[in-house]
Amino acid sequence: MSDQYEENFTTNEDQNITYIPIQYIHQNDGDPEQLNFQIISNNIFKQEDEICEEALCEEEENELIETEDNTIEVLESVVNIGKKSIIKTESVSKKLVQLSPTSKPKGRKRVISDQTRAIRKMRANTNKAYVNAKGKEILPKEFDETFVCTCPKKCTDPKKLSLKTRRQIFNMFWNIGSYEGRCAFLNSCVNEVPKKKQYTKSENSRRKNTRRYYLKGVEVCKLTFVKTLQISNSRIDVSLAKMENENFTDERGKKRSGHGFGQETKEAVIAHIKNNFNADSSLRGLWNFYQTTHPESPVSESYYKRIFYENFNLKIRKVSKYKVDDEQLLDSTDSE
């Protein structure tokens, strides 16, 4: 059983004191009887409040004095530094810069830096050394002076076709410099006539015509014709087939791979780069954004980069802007 009570009385010094019991435990609860009191003095509380208020006021005054001293010291140090040197503040920003055609191109470096696909093709057409797509060096074709024809026509007989004439024909053929021009040359030197005899009974004979080869108006055998121009047998077949189709253009390398991307996908990538590329962009971030916005036509990251480097010769350049405060500006602030 616990009881609480409160008692007020006045001391000899005229102080009002209040006794408040904290806890009372009866003996029957198993513990000895305890009675704790808390003494509360109203006058003492008032004195403590006044002391706390005075202490807070003194702390605030000290803080104000310290902050004023610190600001004065900072201003003095800034003025001293400004008198000795010029203050420069730099703000860095980014912007897109269009590279000039003569500047170094972006992207992966080629194994043969001066041989693109077009240059490699031009070197092959003009009979110059080049490196093919597999990295193999292809040497220029050379005229074979050691060849001697043993056919009944005696094509290499000096009286019929001299070595000097055959060399001139070789140089003239390879100095044409274009695939279409060489096709026209071959078609002018090869004449197809209907065959005179048929040795097979089948109507579907493989050979339907007889070819006659001429160099400078002199009829020669096929072996002499091929050795003089340094070409293959299939080169003659392709040239004559193009004449029948009336299409002499070189179609090699123009067929799109089955695993490649179409023109629509390429245009979609170009449009995406134009609409979303800025100075703070990265190619990987743009590619990831393209994958999420174009799930129906995804592309590889390497293809996305290749389209960017082929169609956008851009680079990100940091631009620094300086704000200069000279000594006169600081002196004018001091005089004020």
Residues 179, 125 contacting (CB under 8 angstroms): yes
Question: Number of folded domains in the chain?
Answer: 3
Per the domain annotation, does 253 fall within a domain?
no
Token code pair at residue 38: 């808390």
What are the φ and ψ backbone dihedral angles of 200, each rounded to 5 degrees? Answer: -110, 150
Instruction: Please state, in angstroms and as integers, the Cα–Cα distance from residue 110 to each residue in 10, 67, 134, 145, following that order.
Output: 104, 64, 13, 37
pLDDT score, position 163: 92
Q: Is the pTM of this model over 0.95?
A: no
pLDDT score, position 311: 83
Residues with pLDDT less than 70, the chain: 1-115, 202, 248, 251, 253-259, 313-336
Instruction: Please state, in angstroms and as integers, the Cα–Cα distance from residue 55 to each residue in 48, 61, 129, 138, 330, following that order.
Output: 11, 10, 95, 96, 41
Whether residue 317 sits in one domain with residue 232: no
Whether residue 241 sits in one domain with residue 269: no
pLDDT score, position 45: 45
Whether residue 154 sits in one domain with residue 66: no
Per the domain annotation, does 92 fall within a domain?
no
Per the domain annotation, does 116 fall within a domain?
no
Please state the three-class secondary structure of the chain as a single string: CCCCCCEEEECCCCCEEEEEEEEEECHHHCCCCEEEEEEEEHHHHHHHHHHHHHHHHHHHHHHHHHHHHHHHHHHHHHHHHHHHCCEEEEEEEEEEEECCCCCCCCCCCCCCCCCCHHHHHHHHHCCCCEECCCCCEECCCCCCCCCCCCCCCCCCCCCCCCHHHHHHHHHHHHCCCCHHHHHHHHHHHEEEEECCCCCCCCCCCCCCEEEEEEECCEEECHHHHHHHHCCCHHHHHHHHHHHHHCCCCCCCCCCCCCCCCCHHHHHHHHHHHHHHCCCCCCHHHHHHHHHHHCCCCCCCHHHHHHHHHHHCCEEEEEEEEEEEECHHHHHHHHHC
pLDDT score, position 179: 86
pLDDT score, position 166: 93
pLDDT score, position 142: 92
Whether residue 222 sits in one domain with residue 169: yes
Q: Residue 209 is which amino acid?
A: N
Whether residue 79 sits in one domain with residue 24: yes
What are the φ and ψ backbone dihedral angles of 20, each rounded to 5 degrees? Answer: -125, 125
Per the domain annotation, does 188 fall within a domain?
yes
Whether residue 306 sits in one domain with residue 227: no
Per the domain annotation, does 28 fall within a domain?
yes
Whether residue 320 sits in one domain with residue 279: yes
Please state, in angstroms and rounded to a whole number, the distance separating the CA atoms of residues 280 and 278: 6
Token code pair at residue 92: 């860095």
Per the domain annotation, does 47 fall within a domain?
yes
pLDDT score, position 105: 58
17-44: pLDDT as tens digits? 444 444 444 444 444 444 443 444 444 4
Whether residue 14 sits in one domain with residue 51: yes
Whether residue 266 sits in one domain with residue 241: no
Average pLDDT, the chain: 72
Per the domain annotation, does 111 fall within a domain?
no
Whether residue 274 sits in one domain with residue 237: no
Please state, in angstroms and rounded to a whole number, the distance separating the CA atoms of residues 191 and 211: 6
- Domain with 316, as residue range(s), is 97-106+262-325
191-217: pLDDT as tens digits? 988 888 877 776 777 778 889 999 998
Whether residue 269 sits in one domain with residue 239: no
Q: With 0-12 CB in 10 A as exposed, 13-18 as middle and 19+ as buried, what is 236? A: buried
Per the domain annotation, does 56 fall within a domain?
yes
pLDDT score, position 109: 60
Nearest Cα neighbor of 236 from 182, 195, 196, 193 is 182
Whether residue 280 sits in one domain with residue 236: no
Radius of gyration of the chain (CA): 50
